[in-house]
Amino acid sequence: MLGTIIPARRFAIAMVRRMLQVDLPAAVRTDEDVEAEMWRNYNWNFSVNVIDGSFFLLAQSLMSPATILPFFVSRLTDNPFYFGLLAVIANGGWFFPQLLSAGHIERTDRKKPWLINLGFFLERMPLVLLTATTLLAVTSPSWALSLFLLAFAIYNLGAGIIAPAWQDLLAVCFPATRRGRLMGVTMFVGGIAGALGAIGSSRILEALPFPRNFLILFGLATILMFAGWAVLALTREPVRQVPRTDESRLRLWTRLGRILRRDQNFRRFLTARGLLAVGGMGMAFVTAAAVSKWDVTGGQGNRI
């Protein structure tokens, strides 16, 4: 039995490495070569990432963890524990896995394979299961709730795992003087799309009966997320060779501790993000309380 398991394990590891291209070192290139390629593909990458970000923000407006998702959960259970669990999954799933994956991603020359290959299975595919849970909402609400939370957890954990790769990809594709412009345009276009999506989701929730309304919303969000994935795959990444280090995980955490002690601005940033995350946890309870106390309809629940 052991002789069978070991080759299978080695085969699985080899397949993952092949998928992520971690065993394919980039050709040695100078910083000038990388910068020249960055500027040569700047306009293309700018357009691609703005479109991807807009699709993402529009999809998020159709399955908002502050309004839409708590409203859906309220149709499955009245237990307040699950409303708080949504916020814990959303925040913990995004931030915690980055602590585990950042080191591995940092040591790879190519960042896009993490987003495209691994992200397809860990971040995008769980949305298909999340959408499918609406089909059980009437006949088996307890099963629907369990599968929904499982799919939502996998989606957020997957997004957290590949998040450092997305941030590194932006860093290598855009010079520091243009990243603010990229994020500003993306948030502007995505904000308009999200506002239109919120209006549309209100009308869908009002016009269609439960759970068909949520099936449409989650289905549209899933399609948009896959569309964004396809657009993001068109990014032209300037590949540069990353110096290989044998730094142990213990030494890595020790270095992180030194950074926290010395960098006051970084400590303030982490404190602010933590406070924002804790403060945002209450929104799910506000939505649930409004639905319960005032018998809020679908469209009203999205406008809370």
The pLDDT tens digits for 113-157 are: 999 999 999 999 999 999 999 999 999 999 999 999 999 999 999
Per the CB < 8 A criterion, the answer to whether 48 and 231 are in contact is yes
- Cβ atoms within 10 Å, residue 95: 16
Counting the structural domains of the chain, the total is 1
Quick check: 225 pLDDT over 60?
yes
Residue 17 lies in a domain: no
Work out the average pLDDT over 274-303. Answer: 64
Residues spanned by the domain of 46: 29-302
Q: Would you place residue 231 in the very low, low, confident or very high pLDDT band (cuts 50, 70, 90)? A: very high
Please write the tens of the pLDDT for every residue from 189-214: 999 999 999 999 989 998 999 999 99
79-98: average pLDDT: 87
Give the list of residues 6+ apart from residue 48 with CB closer than 8 angstroms, or none. 231, 232, 234, 235
Residue 18, in any domain of the structure: no
- Write down the pLDDT at residue 273: 82
Residue 160 lies in a domain: yes
* CA pair distance 304, 296, nearest whole angstrom: 9
Quick check: is 245 in a domain? yes
Let me know if residue 161 belongs to a domain: yes
Weakest-pLDDT range from 76-85, 134-143, 295-304 = 295-304
Q: Which of 151, 116, 73 is nearest to 233 (CA)?
A: 116
pLDDT for 184 equals: 96
| For residue 245, pLDDT beyond 80 | no
Say which residue, 10 or 212, is predicted with more confidence.
212
Q: Residue 161 — pLDDT band, cuts 50, 70, 90?
A: very high
Say which range, 6-10, 87-91, 97-101, has the weakest mean pLDDT: 6-10
Q: Say what the pTM is.
A: 0.83
92 has pLDDT over 70: yes
82-111: average pLDDT: 88
Mean of all residue pLDDT scores within the chain: 85
The pLDDT assigned to 174 comes to 96
Confidence of residue 304 (pLDDT cuts 50, 70, 90): very low
Q: Cβ distance 68 to 201 under 8 Å?
A: yes
Whose structure tokens read 């303030």?
Answer: 268
Q: Is residue 135 part of a domain?
A: yes
First-to-last C-alpha distance (Å) of the chain: 57
Q: Please determine, for residue 15, whether its predicted confidence score (pLDDT) is greater than 60.
A: no
Q: Is a pLDDT exceeding 90 seen at residue 250?
A: no
Q: Are 174 and 46 in contact (CB under 8 A)?
A: yes
Quick one: pLDDT at residue 170? 95
| CATH number of the domain encompassing residue 211 | 1.20.1250.20
Q: Which of 44-48, 169-173, 235-239, 283-287 has the lowest mean pLDDT?
A: 283-287
Which candidate, 17, 16, 229, places its Cα nearest to that of 128? Answer: 229
Q: Assess whether the previous peptide bond of 25 is cis (omega < 30° from 0).
A: no
Question: What is residue 251's predicted lDDT score, i.e. its pLDDT?
Answer: 72
pLDDT band for position 44 (50/70/90)? very high
